[in-house]
Homo-oligomer: A and B are copies of this chain.
């Protein structure tokens, strides 16, 4: 008995059959005596259909109007799911983002949640209603509709769980948990029973694509107990929480990200402020920089290289070419034939053997390492994109999962 927030993505509510599947999960949870709040995304392709409609009219609409349009997708889902639950004879009510009290900033299409005014929601829970909430959306201080951008519905669910002090936030997906590697590529990948927030964050960033990192960051900040599980199979998933028992295995997973390009700025003067200038120029243009490496200088010059998502490589190049004079760089290079393979696990830094084991596995698979970057809980290498799947399998096999 407690308060459980359950989140279902677009594929989980894509048609009538799937909607009733979700209704079954929700009502079973409710029947066990729990209060249940459900967060849903727009059905299957609804969002893409709406985007196509808009594009036909205006290829560059204002983000405000786009949010008015897109937020209808979740509004359709919440009402349909509520109707399915009504059909099954349970008390239920749907609430849009604004009805559920989601207050955001005004950054249309990528808004941040400022607070949730959950009085209405609490009233409905007190009435023993199952409450269905539209994910991905809120309103700003002017009462204008906003959407939360990528990973928005996960973030809505975690924010609700934090605000309502829920006992558990369950994220239902089409996989049954978090794996030590992508099970579609690595046959021996093992499902994890639990993982820490920090490890999950590294895995999310590294392309494990199970949970968006915004939602994991928020879960960590408010200590919301998360569970990732399948909406199609009735079995336990992966718990994501703050503290993991020490006797658990060191390496939590191996991830691979092909969507990456490496940019290098060669021959920078070895003087203070250069890195600041470069990365603030990139930040101003909203270019997401991932791994940053700075080489030791030679002839009073140094090189800085970093990775960006493939979609931003051209923007990054244009930015750097334009500002090259300002940075006093000799030249800019770009390499989009790379992939990033990473291992993630707490306490890695105090176990130097881990890095060696990873590098050995790559060497034995005859894969050349082009760049290395390490943090407290992860080791990432850049390799040739064409070798990424093979690298993932080799590294995964090297560790005992």
Contact = CB atoms under 8 A, between A and B. Distances in A.
A99 interface: yes
A80 B54 contact: yes
A162 interface: no
Contact of A69 (B56, B66, B79, B87): B79
Interface stretch (A70-78, A218-226, A318-326): A70-78
B96 A83 contact: no
A370 B82 CA distance: 50
A64 B79 CA distance: 9
B143 A120 contact: yes
Copies held by the complex: 2
Contact of A68 (B69, B94, B144): B94
A331 interface: no
A200 interface: no
Interface in A77-124: 78-80, 82-84, 86-87, 93-94, 96, 98-99, 120
A352 interface: no
A62 B83 contact: yes
A86 B99 CA distance: 28
B143 A99 contact: yes
Nearest to A78: B68
Interface of A: 16, 19-20, 50, 53-54, 56-58, 61-62, 64-66, 68-69, 71-72, 75-76, 78-80, 82-84, 86-87, 93-94, 96, 98-99, 120, 143-145
